[in-house]
Structure 1
Amino acid sequence: MLLADLLDLVLPATCAGCDEPATGPLCEPCRAALAAVRPGRTRPVPEPPGLPPVFALAAYAGSVRRMLIQYKERNRHELAPVLGGLLARVVAASVPAGAGPVTLVPVPATSAAARRRFGDHVDRLAVAAAATLRRRGAEVRVEGLLRALPKREDSTELSAAERARAAAQAFAVRGRGRPAGGAVILVDDIITTGSTLAASTARLAAAGVRVHRVAVLAATQRAA
């Protein structure tokens, strides 16, 4: 068997953004298109109470949507550095001026989801984003302050009000040290209704941790 055949068994030969042939996670056109995207403010409609300002890279569509599906559901973990680098751009755009050190708090996956995906996919992205930002001279750390509780219902079948109630019971705060100064950025891959992010923010606030901003890769709602 040729070396190329062996590599095809290990490394995907298609771009995660467009399914065209590629020698890495993304083809050059997709890399160029993503490099041109600028993170911006986004708001779900309606916006849940208590949701901090949210910043996203792009809409949950096109190549971004395909990349996230490949990463989460097809276990293409080689996309973590690429997506983490994109998330780093969102974090950088979201941090308030003069905020000082930055703490990234990933929204955790349930144990069942983490087992299915061979690890917590958002935590992996947060670690990659923090590494990217530190290479640029920023003072950034990742703190797993939240713990996901087992899901009682499939949220895809719930109304917006039911999703909000389920989200409020979905997380617990870990007994760790709290960030000392600086900005706390809650990070996730996608924002839909914002219920999960608002509930996470409320849980952290009850434990004395103020979330200043939210950074996500994609938004299902149109950017503001």
Structure 2
Amino acid sequence: MGPELSVAAGMLGRVLSAVLDLVLPSSCAGCGGQGASCCPRCFGALTAAPAARLPDPVPRGLPDCWSAARYEGAVRRLVVAYKERGLVVLAGVLAEALTHTVVAAVREGGHRLPDRGLVVVPVPSAWRSRRGRGHDHVGRLAGLVAGRLRQAGLAAEVWRGLRHTGRVADQAGLSGPERVANLAGSLQVAPAANGPPGAFALLVDDIVTTGATLAEAARTLRSSGLRVPLAVTVGATRRRSQKSYGDGR
């Protein structure tokens, strides 16, 4: 099977999986228990301890970075099921965790969100990765988070203005500083994008490891005149060694 057919087959499989998840009895993607795509226990693990979780070392320009939970156990399985297996029914659960994290950053971290001029900006995946997965997993989450913030009375809009400028080297095995150097200049504001509808950007991503991607995204947005004081993610990986940082970015 050629690469194009492999991608098409993978996309079809994810679509069928999502449809079946809607019409057949579900099992929890976090623990395998029957009854829901995310059971109350796993949802509790996802939302129980939002906190500022900064990588070590912190890359220059990284906004204050808050995550819903550590990227391990049930949390990791939920993210992988949504991101890689196309279980899009989990988008609402993960967006709820992200919104809960934003609230924690405001209440416990002293961040203030403007009533107007707030844009929720998803960190983009590379085009090839997005095509292979069959969906824009972070873009969908950012849209849902913006909607929940509007329900809370904030004039928030999602803005998908970032894009990749080209290919970067494989990040596997790179240290934090090496990832920063590898990603330098890898993002830009899309030429076709309208200007951001606000001046305050809330960065959203699924996981953070070294913080290199979030720092590069923040640098790009600041160069367009946006303030970027805060980033939120679903999970934060634990640093394993000087050279290996796990699955995040």
Q: TM-score, normalised by structure 2?
A: 0.78
Residues 51-130 of structure 1 mapped to structure 2, 5 A cutoff: 51-95=62-106, 96-97=111-112, 99-101=114-116, 102-130=118-146
Question: 1: CA distance between counterparts of 2:21 and 2:135?
Answer: 24
Structure 1, unaligned stretches of length 5 or more? Answer: 1-5
* 2:165 is aligned with 1:149: yes
RMSD: 2.2
Q: Which one of 39, 61, 67 corresponds to residue 27 of structure 1? A: 39
Question: 1: CA distance between counterparts of 2:190 and 2:105?
Answer: 25
Question: 1: CA distance between counterparts of 2:21 and 2:216?
Answer: 43
Structure 2, unaligned stretches of length 5 or more? Answer: 1-18, 240-249
State the identity as a percent.
Answer: 40
**Range with bigger deviation, 137-146 or 88-97:** 88-97
Corresponding residue SS for 1:212: strand
Q: Deviations over 1:118-150 (max 9, x none)?
A: 121100111111122222332211011210234
Which residue of the partner structure matches residue 180 of structure 1? 198
One-letter amino acid of the structure 1 residue matched with residue 195 of structure 2:
G
Q: Deviations over 1:62-85 (max 9, x none)?
A: 111110011111111111111111
Which residue of the partner structure matches residue 17 of structure 1? 30
Question: 1:107 touches 1:146 (CA, 8 Å); kept in 2?
Answer: yes
Which residue of the partner structure matches residue 140 of structure 1? 156
Q: Deviations over 1:85-133 (max 9, x none)?
A: 1111122333523632321111001111111121211001111111222
* Shift in CA distance, 98/29, structure 1 to aligned 2, threshold 3 Å: closer
Question: 2:94 touches 2:141 (CA, 8 Å); kept in 1?
Answer: yes
Please report how far the alpha carbon of residue 33 of structure 1 lies from its aligned counterpart in structure 2 after TM superposition. Answer: 3.9
Q: Which one of 162, 187, 203 corresponds to residue 171 of structure 1? A: 187
Aligned length: 214
Q: TM-score, normalised by structure 1?
A: 0.86
RCO higher in structure (CA 8 A, sep ≥6): 1
One-letter amino acid of the structure 1 residue matched with residue 170 of structure 2:
D
One-letter amino acid of the structure 1 residue matched with residue 147 of structure 2:
A
**Range with bigger deviation, 146-155 or 72-81:** 146-155
Which residue of the partner structure matches residue 195 of structure 1? 212
